[in-house]
C-alpha cells in the first residue's frame, strides 16, 4: 500500500508537470521534506523527493528541445560548481563505503546543482521568484504547523525528545526544525517587507503567518543555535552591508554585553554548557583525524569510520558529522571542497554588489538570499546546515534566487510590480 501511494503521488506530480511545468517546479520547492518518504526501486534506495526531481528533470530536458534558453547566468558559477563536482568524485573514490558515498554524491551534490539550473531557467516572469518563495513558505507552514501541534498535544514527539518536550515537526530530531525553518524565516521577513512596501496585503499576511509560526516552532524545538543565528545574521548584514550602520553597531554592543553578562547566555556563546563541551570534544578529535587526512578528508559518508581510531572521548558518540561548517566540508569533500565553497561565497558577494550597483528592483531578494547564507554559516558553526537532503536543495534554491534577482532578465529594469 505504501509503494502504491508513492506511485500515485509521483504519477499525479508527473501529470502536473505535463500541464504546467512551472507549477511542478514550485511544488517541488514546497515538498523538500518529502525525502523522509523512502523506498526502494529494483533494489536501489530512493525517496519521494528524488522521484519528483527525476520527473522535473525529464520534462525540463524535453523542454530544452522546444525553447531556447539563456545560459549566460551559469558562467560566474562554473568554477565553484566544477570544483564541487571534482571534490565529490574524489570523495567517492576515497570513501570507505562506495555505495553510501555515491548516494550522498547524488543527493547532496548532483541533484541540488541540477535543480539550481532548472529553477534558474524556470524563473522567467517578473514575479516568478516571489511566487516560488511562497511555495517554499507553504512547506514551512506544514513543518511549523505540525511542530506547534506537537507542543500543544504532546502527540507524535519521538523518543527521547518527548521527555524534554522538544518538538521535531515531521523530522526525526528537533534541530532539523531550526535548520529548515531558519533560512525561510529570513526570506519571509524580506518578502514581508517587500509586500508591505508594495501594498500586497494578502501576500504580506501570508508571510506574517509563515514567519510567526516558524519562529514559534523553532522556539518549541529548542534549537538554540537557530535562536542565535537568525538575529545575528540580520545584525551582521545590517552592519556590513546596509547604510546607515551606526544604529546597528550601537544596538549590537549592548546586546553583546548583556549576552555575556547573563550566565546562561554566556555559557551558550562560549560553549561552556554540555552541548558546547560535546562540540569541543568532537572538533578536537576531528582535527587530529584531519592531520592524517589533510588533502581529501575522510570521503563522502566516511567520517564515522575515519574518526574511530581517533575517538578518545568515549562518553560521547561518534556523530555523522563534526558539527562545524568548515570541518563538515573538509571531512566530506577535502580541501578542494573547501575551496569550492570559498568561491561560492566570493561569487555571492559579487552578485550582491552587482544588484546593488544597478539598483535592481529585486535588490531586496538578493539581500535576503545573502542574509540567508550568513544565517546558515553562523548556524553551521555548531551544526550541519548543508549535508542533508532538504537543506542541500534549499541551498540550491537560495543560489538560484540570488542569481535571478541579481543578474536575471528584470534585474536591470527599473519597473514596478504590476
In tens digits, what is the pLDDT along the chain, a chain of 418 residues?
888 899 999 999 999 999 999 999 999 999 999 999 999 888 788 999 999 999 999 999 998 888 777 898 999 999 999 999 999 999 999 999 999 999 999 999 999 999 999 999 999 888 899 999 999 999 999 999 999 999 999 888 998 898 888 999 999 999 999 999 999 999 999 999 999 998 899 999 999 999 999 999 999 999 989 998 999 999 888 877 765 556 556 666 666 666 666 566 666 677 777 788 899 999 999 999 999 999 999 999 999 999 999 999 998 999 999 999 999 999 999 999 999 999 999 999 999 988 888 778 899 999 999 999 999 999 999 999 999 999 999 999 999 999 999 988 887 655 443 3
CB contact at 8 A, 38 and 76: no
Burial of 209 (0-12, 13-18, 19+ CB in 10 A): middle
Q: Which three cell numbers stand for residue 324?
A: 562545524
pLDDT at 291: 95
- DSSP per residue over 50-86, as a string? HHHHHHHHHHHHHHHTTS----GGGGGGHHHHHHHHH
Bridge partner list, 331: none
Q: Which three cell numbers stand for residue 66?
A: 522546444
Q: Which three cell numbers stand for residue 67?
A: 525553447
CB contact at 8 A, 260 and 210: no
Q: Is 39 helix (H, G, I), strand (E, B) or coil?
A: strand
Integer Rg of the chain from CA: 21
pLDDT at 319: 93
Which residue's C-alpha cell is 555571492? 348
Q: Which three cell numbers stand for residue 2?
A: 505504501
Rounded distance between C-alpha atoms, residue 72 and residue 160, angstroms = 50
Q: Is 268 helix (H, G, I), strand (E, B) or coil?
A: helix
pLDDT at 416: 41
pLDDT at 40: 87
CB contact at 8 A, 250 and 240: no
Rounded distance between C-alpha atoms, residue 14 and residue 93, angstroms = 35
- 265-274 long-range contacts (CB < 8 A, ≥24 apart) are 268/224, 268/228, 269/228, 271/382
CB contact at 8 A, 39 and 47: yes
pLDDT at 413: 59
**Which of 97, 90, 106 has its CA nearest to residue 46?**
106
**Which of 365, 364, 356, 360 has its CA nearest to residue 399?**
365
Q: How far is CA 97 from CA 43, 81, 94, 289, in A?
A: 17, 24, 9, 18
Helical axes 175-197 vs 363-379, angle rounded to 10° = 160
Rounded distance between C-alpha atoms, residue 130 and residue 205, angstroms = 14
Cα-flanking dihedrals φ and ψ of residue 113, to 5°? -60, -45
Amino acid at each position: 500500500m505504501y509503494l502504491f501511494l508513492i506511485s500515485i503521488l509521483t504519477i499525479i506530480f508527473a501529470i502536473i508537470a505535463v500541464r504546467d511545468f512551472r507549477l511542478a517546479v514550485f511544488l517541488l520547492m514546497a515538498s523538500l521534506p518529502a525525502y523522509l518518504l523512502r523506498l526502494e526501486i529494483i533494489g536501489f534506495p530512493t525517496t519521494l523527493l528524488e522521484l519528483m526531481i527525476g520527473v522535473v528533470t525529464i520534462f525540463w530536458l524535453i523542454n530544452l528541445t522546444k525553447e531556447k534558453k539563456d545560459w549566460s547566468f551559469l558562467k560566474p558559477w562554473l568554477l565553484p560548481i566544477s570544483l564541487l563536482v571534482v571534490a565529490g568524485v574524489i570523495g567517492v573514490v576515497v570513501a570507505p563505503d562506495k555505495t553510501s558515498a555515491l548516494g550522498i554524491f547524488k543527493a547532496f551534490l548532483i541533484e541540488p546543482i541540477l535543480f539550481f539550473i532548472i529553477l534558474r531557467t524556470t524563473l522567467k516572469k517578473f514575479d516568478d521568484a516571489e511566487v516560488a518563495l511562497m511555495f517554499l513558505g507553504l512547506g514551512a507552514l506544514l513543518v511549523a504547523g505540525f511542530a506547534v501541534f506537537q507542543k500543544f498535544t504532546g502527540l507524535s514527539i519521538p523518543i527521547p525528545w518527548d521527555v524534554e518536550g522538544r518538538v521535531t515537526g515531521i523530522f526525526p530530531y528537533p534541530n532539523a526544525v531550526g535548520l529548515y525553518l531558519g533560512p525561510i524565516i529570513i526570506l519571509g521577513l524580506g518578502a514581508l517587507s517587500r509586500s508591505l512596501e508594495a501594498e500586497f496585503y494578502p501576500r504580506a499576511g501570508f508571510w506574517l503567518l509563515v514567519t510567526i509560526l516558524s519562529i514559534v516552532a523553532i522556539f518549541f524545538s529548542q534549537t538554540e543555535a537557530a535562536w542565535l543565528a537568525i538575529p545575528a545574521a540580520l545584525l551582521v548584514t545590517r552592519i556590513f552591508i546596509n547604510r546607515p550602520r551606526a544604529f546597528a553597531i550601537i544596538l549590537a554592543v549592548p546586546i553583546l554585553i548583556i549576552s555575556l553578562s547573563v550566565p546562561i547566555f554566556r555559557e551558550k556563546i562560549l560553549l561552556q554548557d554540555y552541548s558546547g563541551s560535546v562540540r569541543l570534544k568532537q572538533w578536537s578529535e576531528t582535527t587530529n583525524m584531519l592531520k592524517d587526512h589533510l588533502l581529501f578528508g575522510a570521503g563522502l559518508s566516511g567520517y564515522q569510520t575515519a574518526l574511530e581510531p581517533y575517538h578518545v572521548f568515549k562518553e560521547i558518540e561518534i556523530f555523522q558529522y563534526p558539527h562545524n561548517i568548515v570541518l563538515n566540508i573538509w571531512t566530506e569533500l577535502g580541501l578542494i571542497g573547501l575551496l569550492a565553497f570559498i568561491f561560492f561565497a566570493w561569487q555571492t558577494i559579487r552578485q550582491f554588489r552587482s544588484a546593488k550597483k544597478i539598483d535592481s528592483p529585486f535588490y531586496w531578494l538578493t539581500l535576503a538570499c545573502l542574509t540567508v547564507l550568513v544565517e546558515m554559516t553562523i548556524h553551521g558553526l555548531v551544526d550541519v546546515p548543508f549535508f542533508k537532503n532538504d537543506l542541500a536543495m534549499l541551498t540550491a534554491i537560495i543560489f538560484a534566487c540570488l542569481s535571478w534577482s541579481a543578474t536575471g532578465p528584470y534585474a536591470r529594469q527599473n519597473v514596478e510590480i504590476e
